[in-house]
């Protein structure tokens, strides 16, 4: 390939927003020569690699803006430690059909059982699939909405919780809310209803939500929107955080 043509291909690739092609023109030609590739195969390779590079960039930038506390996956989760948790149920969620349907997922478990881990793993999978993600704890969301409301910026702040395809609301029920705070939560849940998915985690059962939201009527209104289309994974189980400590304690008692 002449120097002139390769320079032009590079410049055109940049203008077309194909930076990987611009960088890799000569490698592509070399690979095509070595593998005696046909024209169609070469075009197929160039387009597939450009797409892969673009999707990887989008995935990494999606993770950065998601505010996820870590990026653990389902592969990092040891299902054998939680025999009550049916791996099929979680793997079904990981197919993300609930996200495509703009439905919700609720993970109700005691502390340390892996609610945040599983919620993050589902969010990472959704991010990889091209969905936008935003992670918050319930308390942080309420705090930010209250501050925005006081500053007359509620609508714009609500947007942060309404725009993403998947909103992860972690730790529902750690702190009881006042009525005005519960009202802000209702606004998020009702505005996302059938428009975008919520993955929520809670250490409380739904019947205890009246106490969290300080008002049975409001709690019922929130649950009504949330649960209309919702996959629920509710189990008891032992804390993974205490796993090693409990094993150590057992060892100590065995010795004693
Ligand atoms: P929760 O949100 O339910 O309190 P986390 O998801 O924060 O629990 O889990 C506590 C810690 O234990 C995290 O580091 C998490 O990755 C890990 N963990 C919990 N359950 C498991 C498991 N079954 N396999 C591997 N790691 C786990
Ligand atoms: Mg947690």
With 0-12 / 13-18 / 19 or more C-beta atoms within 10 angstroms meaning exposed / middle / buried, residue 49 is middle
Residue 15, pLDDT score: 96
In testing the pocket of ligand 1, which one of 87, 114, 233 has its CB within 8 Å of the most ligand atoms?
114
| pLDDT in the model for residue 254 | 60
Please report the domains of the chain, with CATH numbers, ordered by start residue.
3-62 (no CATH), 74-242 (3.40.50.300)
For residue 68, give the 3-state DSSP assignment.
Answer: coil
How far, in Å, CA of 222 to CA of 230, rounded?
Answer: 13
What letter does residue 28 receive in the DSSP assignment? H
pLDDT tens, position by position, 63-90: 999 999 999 999 999 999 999 999 999 9
- Per-residue pLDDT 10s for the chain (256 aa) are 588 999 999 999 999 999 999 999 999 999 999 999 999 999 999 999 999 999 999 999 999 999 999 999 999 999 999 999 999 999 999 999 999 999 999 999 999 999 999 999 999 999 999 999 999 999 999 999 999 999 999 999 999 999 999 999 999 999 999 999 999 999 999 999 999 999 999 999 999 988 999 888 999 999 999 999 999 999 988 889 887 766 666 666 665 4
pLDDT in tens, 132-165: 999 999 999 999 999 999 999 999 999 999 999 9
How far is the C-alpha of 166 from the C-alpha of 198, rounded, in Å?
6
- Which of 106, 112, 235, 243 maximizes ligand 1 atoms within 8 Å of its Cβ, making it the mutation to test the pocket? 112
Beta-sheet strands, E only, within the chain: 104-108, 133-137, 166-172, 197-202, 230-234
The residue whose CA has the least distance to atom 16 of ligand 1 is 117
Decide: pTM greater than 0.85: yes
Residues less than 5 Å from ion ligand 2, measured at CB? 115-116
What Å distances lie between residue 112 and 26, 115, 193, 239, CA to CA? Answer: 52, 7, 29, 4
Secondary structure class of 58 (helix, strand, coil): helix
């Amino acid at each position: 390939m002449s120097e002139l043509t390769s320079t032009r291909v590079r410049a055109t690739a940049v203008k077309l927003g194909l930076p990987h092609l611009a960088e890799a023109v000569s490698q592509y030609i070399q690979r095509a020569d070595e593998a005696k590739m046909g024209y169609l195969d070469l075009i197929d390779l160039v387009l597939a690699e450009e797409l892969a590079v673009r999707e990887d960039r989008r995935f990494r930038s999606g993770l950065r803006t998601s505010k996820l506390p870590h990026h653990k996956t389902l592969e990092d989760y040891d299902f054998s430690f939680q025999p009550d948790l049916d791996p099929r149920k979680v793997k079904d969620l990981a197919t993300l059909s609930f996200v495509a349907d703009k439905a919700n997922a609720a993970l109700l478990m005691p502390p340390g059982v892996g609610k945040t881990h599983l919620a993050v793993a589902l969010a990472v999978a959704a991010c990889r699939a091209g969905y936008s993600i935003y992670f918050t704890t319930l308390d942080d969301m309420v705090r930010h909405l209250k501050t925005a409301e006081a500053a007359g910026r509620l609508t714009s702040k609500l947007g942060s919780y309404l725009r993403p395809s998947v909103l992860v609301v972690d730790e529902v029920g750690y702190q009881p809310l006042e009525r005005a705070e519960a009202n802000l939560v209702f606004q998020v849940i009702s505005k996302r209803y059938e428009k975008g998915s919520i993955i929520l985690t809670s250490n409380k059962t739904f019947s205890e939500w009246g106490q969290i939201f300080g008002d049975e009527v409001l709690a019922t209104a929130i649950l009504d929107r949330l649960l209309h289309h919702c996959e629920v994974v509710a189990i008891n189980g032992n804390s993974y955080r205490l796993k090693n400590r409990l094993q150590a304690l057992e060892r100590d008692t065995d010795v004693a």
